[in-house]
Amino acid sequence: MSWFLADGTSSPDSPALREAHENATEAAGYVEQHWADWLEAGLRILLIIVIAMVLRSVVRRAITRLIARMNRTAQAVDGTALGGLLVNTERRRQRSEAIGSVLRSVASFLIMGTAALTILSVLKINLAPLLASAGVAGVALGFGARNLVTDFLSGVFMIIEDQYGVGDTIDAGVASGEVIEVGLRVTKLRGDEGEIWYVRNGEVKRIGNKSQGWATAAVDVQIRYDEDLDKARGTIQRAGEQLSKEEPWNERLWGPVEVLGLDAVTLDSMVISTSAKTMPGKALGVERELRWRIKQAFDEAGIRIVGGLPQDAALETAPDPAAGVAAPSALANPSSPQSANASPIPAQPSGGSANLTK
């Protein structure tokens, strides 16, 4: 039986047409049955993406505004008396930028990662194998790149805790010097001779920051043993008060110059210890200026330091009584055997040569 017409087309009751009709009917029924679910899933996915993008933009903008406000606050107090109590502008800027970068990256990872997992759950994809594989990959990455992870985490905590910053002088154990750049993985230090040290943050086990808090300027004054201690104390205190009233020392001194007392007493000298709190990193300059002013004040008050001449008349050195005595000679001692056996030497008359006769 032929299923084709005379013009070459298939008859309406041919198997091919019936199969195509059945397939189309089944597809239309499947689409009609599930189109509502597909539309709902698509709308949910679109809503999740929109919410994630908006939330990510809002969070990143809030973090950026917070960092900008921190920088403006640092610039407002920089160069003032309050600025000495805070860190400098460059240090605060680098620290805030690093913190902002970390916060923005973490926020983007959390928001977009959560959105991706939510979309996969909407598509009815089993997340258990995916999460298990991600966990195994994370463990392998942690073991393989543990030094990199250690450096990164150490850098994050160093920046967040403000252990040091640009401009600080630190002792990191493996190297010491002035911090010129702080990164999440490496810290750059400039040594005393100008060399640049690249220190991995994970290698730093202890940090001694010489630029945080306050420093101590200690000056020891050595005077003669017979000087008046009360007069010396008052002179030092007046010199310290005058120093604290003049610029730029009034900003570098964070406390009065204190006379701690006698540090040592010997037969010919006494040592008076003085101390003052200063701005971090400025102790050496304050010590030099304080010594200068104490010396000037002592000269005006007539207080002598060890090794100084008396202030009355300059005493001439006493002549040595043995300076005019001739050196002893063996001929001057008559009991000496050499002088007894020695024959006398005739003196020659002056003005001519002696005539020797037989």
Q: Tell me, what's the pLDDT at 53?
A: 92
Query: pLDDT higher for 99 or 112?
Result: 112
| Chain segment 284-325, per-residue pLDDT in tens | 888 999 999 999 999 988 888 875 455 444 444 445 555 555
In the predicted model, is pLDDT for residue 110 greater than 50?
yes
Nearest-5° Cα angle at 39, 34 to 117: 105
The four Cα atoms 272, 275, 281, 285 give a dihedral, to 10 degrees, of -50
Q: In this structure, are residues 224 and 199 in contact, taking their beta carbons and an 8 Å threshold?
A: no
According to the per-residue pLDDT averaged within each range, which of 46-50, 68-72, 276-280 is highest?
46-50
Q: In this structure, are residues 95 and 159 in contact, taking their beta carbons and an 8 Å threshold?
A: yes
Distance from C-alpha of 105 to C-alpha of 353, rounded to nearest angstrom: 116
Instruction: List the strands of the sheet with 169-171, edge to edge.
Output: 196-200, 186-190, 176-182, 169-171, 208-209
Average pLDDT, the chain: 75
Q: Tell me, what's the pLDDT at 325?
A: 53
Q: Tell me, what's the pLDDT at 340?
A: 45
3-state SS, residue 261: strand
CA-wise closest residue to 229 among 190, 186, 260:
260
Q: Tell me, what's the pLDDT at 27?
A: 67
Mean pLDDT throughout 142-158? 79
Percent of the chain at pLDDT > 90 equals 9
In the predicted model, is pLDDT for residue 283 greater than 50?
yes
Rounded to two decimals, what is the model's pTM?
0.47
Does residue 115 come out as left (phi exceeding 0), alpha (psi in the -120 to 50 range) or beta?
alpha
Q: Tell me, what's the pLDDT at 54?
A: 93
Check residue 87 and report its DSSP letter: -
Q: Where are the beta strands (DSSP E) in the chain?
A: 169-171, 176-182, 186-190, 196-200, 208-209, 215-224, 258-265, 269-278
| Residue 30 burial (10 A CB sphere; 0-12, 13-18, 19+) | exposed
CA-wise closest residue to 224 among 269, 271, 261, 272:
269
According to the per-residue pLDDT averaged within each range, which of 10-19, 176-185, 289-298, 328-337 is highest?
289-298
Q: Tell me, what's the pLDDT at 343?
A: 46
* CB neighbours of residue 223 within 10 Å: 20
In the predicted model, is pLDDT for residue 268 greater than 60?
yes
Mean pLDDT throughout 58-74? 80
Q: Tell me, what's the pLDDT at 109?
A: 87
* CB neighbours of residue 207 within 10 Å: 14
The four Cα atoms 272, 278, 280, 286 give a dihedral, to 10 degrees, of -60
| Chain segment 83-108, per-residue pLDDT in tens | 444 445 666 776 777 778 778 888 88
CA-wise closest residue to 223 among 273, 260, 258:
273
| Chain segment 189-216, per-residue pLDDT in tens | 998 888 899 998 888 888 888 877 788 8
* CB neighbours of residue 119 within 10 Å: 17
In the predicted model, is pLDDT for residue 163 greater than 90?
no
Query: With DSSP H G I counted as helix, E B as strand and the rest as coil, what are the percentages for the chain, rounded to 5?
Result: 50, 15, 35
In the predicted model, is pLDDT for residue 63 greater than 80?
yes
